[in-house]
Structure 1
Amino acid sequence: MDALIEVTPTVRQLPFPVGHVYVVALPDDGYAVVDTGIPGSAPAILDALARLGARPGQLRQIVLTHYHLDHMGSAADLAAATGARVLAGALDVPYIRGTAPEPAPAFTPAERSLHEGIMADLGAAGLPPLRPTEVDVALHDGDTLDGWGEPVRVLHVPGHTPGGIALHLPASRLLFPGDIIGTDPDGRRAVLGPGNVAREEAIASFRRLAALDDVDTVCVPHGVPLRTDARAVLAAATPEKDWL
């Protein structure tokens, strides 16, 4: 497993081949994670916490930006191992709990090819089955998260999934956008995340996030975090043309 990458003094990226996890230090000697990777990733996340000097019980929150398997994949195992609360966007809760079938993405041909390749690779690697998990807190647009030591605004950003959320930390000028925003391997170009259930809604959500004034760092789940000229990179993005 790759080393933890420091993004800010309190945020570290745990890179995975599919779906990065972000570990956030909380002021009470606890931690939160944003997303949990594919099924089977819990041991690597627990190891990352141990490298930070944390016991499993110090994980306080598991925030899921949406229900896809590379984001909620290890939430059930991680919650069972740590007792952490699981938080997610209200409209995605039925899919995370497994009480409703997931809406199918409306793939473009380029997106379908990408998705099929990723799923084939995961299948060949022996991907464990996805386990649903209980959600302790259903989040809505305008909610704030407790315990992070600074204001954390929840933004409802539908389109990739019906209830996708982003987290905006104005004081740190930092954004967790979920899969609404991805980057190229060099981190110089921002793109619309592929595989959306409602492409026009996803583009509108991208534009909403790109218009935020107080963002210098964008912690994307796929690609390289934007840490230099983030606002200019977002302003130059053309999500309407991506994946066509």
Structure 2
Amino acid sequence: MELIQLTPAVWQLPFAVGHVHLVRLPDGYALIDTGVPGSAPEILDALARLGARPQELRQIVLTHSHLDHTGSAADLVAATGARVLAGSLDAPVIRGAAAEAEPVYTAQERVLHEQVMAGFAAAGIQSPRPVTVDQELNEGDTLDGWGQPVHVLHVPGHTPGGIALHLPAAGVLFPGDIVATTDGRAILGPINVDRAQAITSFRRLAGLEGVEALFVPHGEPVLKGAGELLRAATPEQDWV
């Protein structure tokens, strides 16, 4: 599987559903999201290709609770000892203590969801194993150990406890599933528990200053001019 370098410190490992990102830290690596269940071998191989041992994975940041983001977290923790960080409102789902909130679909989203779930079933993908969340994240938190400021933004709507990571010094935004990209555009991520709230979160991210790079779990990365792309988007019109 191709490992794509996006910046001097960020790599994307693209999966068919749900890309993950590795970020070089001063003393190791962080992983943003973990793919569907069964993705751990590819992620550990990517670490090895970067010259890192499994135990050099320090943090696993889960942007939200859906299985294409949390699916391999338990396996990776077992292999690496990494700490898991996630939004406080999604943490009970990730731990296995609460059920996933049900989305409210538009007609287009329902068709997409059925296609994705059929693909998971055909591939034998099961529900993710619960995993301990070592640190619950909330609006205004910052992440330790990154060597630069990393701001945690609570961006509800896709799930109740979704988070985005903003690295203002680097001009980088990891939006989670609030934002996707397609055909050179930024669009609202589909399949939301609260569409209006998701649009508000999208508009909030579009209002951030100095965002040049946008690294999404679904779609192509944006390496330049991401802020302008976000501000030009029309999330209210997506998936209607």
Instruction: Tell me the TM-score normalized by structure 2.
Output: 0.99
Name the counterpart of 1:182: 180
Q: Structure 2: give runs of 5+ residues left out of the alignment.
A: none
Report the counterpart of residue 13 of structure 1 in structure 2. Answer: 12
Partner of 1:238: 234
What is the alpha-carbon distance in structure 2 between the residues aligned to residue 5 and residue 110 of structure 1? Answer: 31
1:208 to 204, 207, 227: 204
Contact 2:211 2:225 in 1 (8 A): no
Q: Deviation per CA, 1:9-62, whole angstroms, max 9, x where unpaired?
A: 00000000000000000012x000000000100010000000001110000000
> Which residue pairs with 2:23 in the alignment?
24
Question: Distance in 2 between the 1:223 and 1:52 partners?
Answer: 23
Q: Distance in 2 between matches of 1:126 and 1:95?
A: 22
- Identity within the alignment, %: 68
> For residue 222 of structure 2, what is the aligned residue in structure 1?
226
Q: Which residue of 1 is the match for residue 81 of structure 2?
A: 83
Structure 1 distance, partners of 2:169, 2:181, is 23
Aligned residue runs from structure 1 range 37-186, under 5 A: 37-184=35-182, 186=183
Q: Which runs of 4+ in 1 moved over 4 A?
A: none
Contact residue 66 and residue 161 of structure 1 kept, 8 A? yes
Q: Which amino acid aligns with 2:5?
A: E
Quick one: which amino acid aligns to residue 226 of structure 1? V
Q: Which amino acid aligns with 2:58?
A: R
Aligned partner letter, 1:19:
G
Q: CA RMSD in A?
A: 0.7
1:138-175 deviation line (CA, Å, top 9, x unaligned): 00000000011100000000010000000000000000
- Alpha-carbon offset, residue 231 of structure 1: 1.6
Q: 1 CA distance for matches of 2:185 and 2:110?
A: 21
Find the residue that maps to 1:179 and give its secondary structure. helix
CA-CA distance at 1:226 after TM superposition: 1.3
| TM-score w.r.t. length of structure 1 | 0.97
Distance 1:128 1:31 in 2: 27
The answer on whether the counterparts of 1:40 and 1:128 sit within 8 Å (CA) in structure 2 is no
Shift of 1:228: 2.6
Q: Distance in 2 between matches of 1:178 and 1:149?
A: 22
Structure 2 Cα separation of the partners of residues 130 and 152 of structure 1: 27
In the comparison of the two structures, how many residue pairs are matched?
Answer: 240
Unaligned runs of 5+ in 1: none
Offset from partner CA, 1:90-129 (integer Å, 9 cap, x none) = 0101110110111100011100101110111121112133
Mapped to 1, the partners of 2:83 and 2:21 lie a distance apart of 16
